[in-house]
Chain A
């Protein structure tokens, strides 16, 4: 169980993470999404014990992570760019991991490498970005961590490699029961693999739910009113976005429920049809709404 409790992290005057709390169950794949600069990577780096937090706490199995070797030896961290010693060969990196993580299994690495096919004699600096990401992923997974923190792990990978890597993560979770916390801009991928997500906006939690709950909360409705729609419809707190083409109104809401349907129907409705949104659309609409809110408050 991972408990991120009201953490804040600032860099000088910039508040990168502001009072974020996330609870992650063991054996789940948890997505953290947000725009560039929203604070995703900061949260992940705090979770991996790289950054110290200003306030709050991060507890993994009840223990703090920062400067705690016991906890950190059970965490694998894959950054969004090369992080290894440039002059080392792949084999030397394996040896390094073998000594650092007692749980490292070279057979496991070799098994992964049958898919990714890295030359063990190649130097890290001579590998392409995609190759370096694969290496990082393989080394972390072969360390058999209890928590795998992935910061944009698919960046720089081609479509096939991306698919292979995601399959690998799913397989490993199902086999070992490890917990994965992942951030990615490829929301379609996250939607496929994540059990739950937190959407971060400007360092704060915007939405937090399981994928299914999120998708059931955030919906696009196609509505045709019998007469004119309510004048203040756009200002309804449930509505994120409102558009219309002729008499057909498209309402995006993040509070979809029987109550909200009933509320609309009170204004006379000829047609009300919910349209399912994928995670990317949910992210876009919620993001726009947050921006609008911010504009209003200013």
Chain B
């Protein structure tokens, strides 16, 4: 028996294998896309200290509708090829003459079809779980310095992803079985697929049409629930607020989720089961002699006719009321109703003609009420009453024990500067970026420009004019210089005849003595504190050169005039011990002035790292080996490196997914070897 079934399996495996390759490509593409998103998010984290909180929602869940649509397309093709032979009269007769029962052929077909997307889906599911773990590990540093670290782990719990995977798979099965079932309810291969797709879309179309035509208010009605079966994957979102002692600094966490996922899983499983039962019953009763009839069952024919009648009525009413009638009359409602009835009548006659293809007044047989059950199943898949918020998480307040944010902005300086004449003769411009950055561009040197520079000098208490003169005297067409005057960072750029001055205000003031001491040990006069994040067990201090701050905001700065900018993320635990240091080097145009840049890197940017390593190791630690590795990665001999110096582990990696306007990043991570 099993030996004989092998022949059928071989026939059915052919389209299934071809389509499984397609499904595999789609799913691997999805994984790659998610992987790229995670890597890009990590680069953004390196630049802006912001890590995505909702890995399951932002990266994985947002991917699902696109994957689902492409899989549905593949399923349409799969079902078409699975029934291609059966729907051919000659080959169908041959198959029927073979020693296989209808149910055997049906089960082999279903098994092959389900396997064709199940195997790639298993790969996808494993890949998603692995990506989730990868992302969580990647952003672990970022999460542990947030006051709501625990909440992030709850949101991104593997159980939620597992639920999403189960739901996706059951939705796949329900859609596949629905399309498969349509092949037994209608005898035309393509016709049944088209009808299947239209049935899935019709509830939404009819509902939206009715609401628009009769000007109904949507109120509590959510049209999305009729977007079968994609609705299963449509996500809701929630926002959690984490209060701070300073109200203005409350933090918000947005996350996506699939509401009532357990019910959706149940409904999708129920629909799959129901469709399977209908398929088994229909396949048993399937007769090749009915092949000429488009819809062999009388009840199904009438359901088809009524469905087409309803949809065509609304279609014509839509066209009339919203496209044609407004051009010729003012009150379009009454005429719209006439068009609705006319459309329904035309639809009825056309549908009756279509439904009666191949029917020569077949004698009434016992009515088989398959389609009503089927439609009930489809509607149930997406029509659960979903409005309940997932209020699982309680807000967590966090304590600003380590720092205060200076709320004095650059506003007074801006107002002072704007008092100067901005006529053509004194051509200059001003631009602000948030409260902490101000950019002044001088298109030509004038008395006014010198007066403005003087005003800035007085405000930041520093020798700015000296820097500007230095830049103006430079032979290069494009050049940049950075300085730190107390709490103010200055980036002065020469861009042909223009001089651009960027002023960056440091608004973080460390208040915790232990942290103050640690920062004092590490920081150099070239770096400023730009960020502080505190979690329950860890905190992170961000140090950056003015150029790094300027380039991260990309505000009025050009990549043409910069070689290197760098920043540090310094992680400490509650006891004040430094656990990890991440040095982020932002490089542009690495090929030019390599030696000079490397010199600058070592002489200026590397010093906080050396300080931090000495601080971790409590004594001077030679890091020449690590510097050599950094150089190798910088000059592009390798993309990553790692090593160990005494009690310190280090790893170096280049990230270049956005190697354009934002330049490349080289990440150097140094950790105490536990």
Contacting B360 at CB < 8 Å: which of A11, A67, A70, A75? A11
Q: How far is the CB of B93 from chain A (nearest CB, A)?
A: 5
A12→B360 CA distance, assembly (Å): 5
What 0/1 readout, one digit per residue, does chain A (90-102) give for beta carbons within 8 Å of chain B?
0000011111111
B99 interface residue per 8 A CB criterion: yes
Whether B97 contacts A77 by the Cβ 8 Å rule is yes
What 0/1 readout, one digit per residue, does chain B (75-102) give for beta carbons within 8 Å of chain A?
0000000000100001101101111111
B359 interface residue per 8 A CB criterion: yes
Whether A12 contacts B359 by the Cβ 8 Å rule is yes
A73→B288 CA distance, assembly (Å): 19
A98→B91 CA distance, assembly (Å): 18
B residues 276-317 touching A (CB-CB < 8 Å): 287-289, 292
A49→B363 CA distance, assembly (Å): 23
B85's closest neighbor in chain A, by CB? A85
A70→B101 CA distance, assembly (Å): 10
Q: Which residues of A are found within 8 Å of B104, using beta-carbon distances?
A: 69
Q: How far is the CB of A144 from chain B (nearest CB, A)?
A: 13
B475 interface residue per 8 A CB criterion: no
Whether B97 contacts A72 by the Cβ 8 Å rule is yes
Whether A79 contacts B94 by the Cβ 8 Å rule is yes
Whether A100 contacts B99 by the Cβ 8 Å rule is yes
A231→B93 CA distance, assembly (Å): 54
Whether A49 contacts B102 by the Cβ 8 Å rule is no
Contacting A83 at CB < 8 Å: which of B93, B100, B362? B93
A residues 100-148 touching B (CB-CB < 8 Å): 100-102
Instruction: Please tell me the number of chain A residues within 8 Å of chain B, measured between CB atoms.
Output: 34
Instruction: Please tell me the number of chain B residues within 8 Å of chain A, measured between CB atoms.
Output: 29
Whether B360 contacts A48 by the Cβ 8 Å rule is no
A51 interface residue per 8 A CB criterion: yes
A35 interface residue per 8 A CB criterion: no
> If the complex has contacts A50-B288, A99-B4, A99-B6, are A75 and B90 also in contact, measured as CB distance less than 8 A?
no
Q: How far is the CB of B591 from chain A (nearest CB, A)?
A: 55
Q: Which residues of A are found within 8 Å of B4, using beta-carbon distances?
A: 69, 73, 99-102
Q: How far is the CB of B461 from chain A (nearest CB, A)?
A: 84
A52 interface residue per 8 A CB criterion: yes
B101's closest neighbor in chain A, by CB? A67
Q: Which residues of B are found within 8 Å of A96, using beta-carbon distances?
A: 7, 10-11
A9's closest neighbor in chain B, by CB? B289
> If the complex has contacts A45-B93, A72-B99, A79-B94, are A85 and B11 also in contact, measured as CB distance less than 8 A?
yes
A86→B90 CA distance, assembly (Å): 11
A151's closest neighbor in chain B, by CB? B93
Q: Which residues of A are found within 8 Å of B466, using beta-carbon distances?
A: none
Q: Which residues of A are found within 8 Å of B287, using beta-carbon distances?
A: 51-52
A84 interface residue per 8 A CB criterion: yes
A81 interface residue per 8 A CB criterion: yes
B361 interface residue per 8 A CB criterion: yes
A residues 11-65 touching B (CB-CB < 8 Å): 11-14, 45, 48-52
Q: Which residues of B are found within 8 Å of A95, using beta-carbon distances?
A: 7, 10
Q: Which residues of A are found within 8 Å of B361, using beta-carbon distances?
A: 12-13
Given contacts A12-B359, A14-B360, 5 further A-B contacts (CB under 8 A): A9-B289, A75-B97, A83-B93, A84-B91, A96-B11
A residues sitting closer than 8 Å to B (CB atoms) are 9-14, 45, 48-52, 67, 69-70, 72-73, 75, 77, 79, 81-86, 95-102
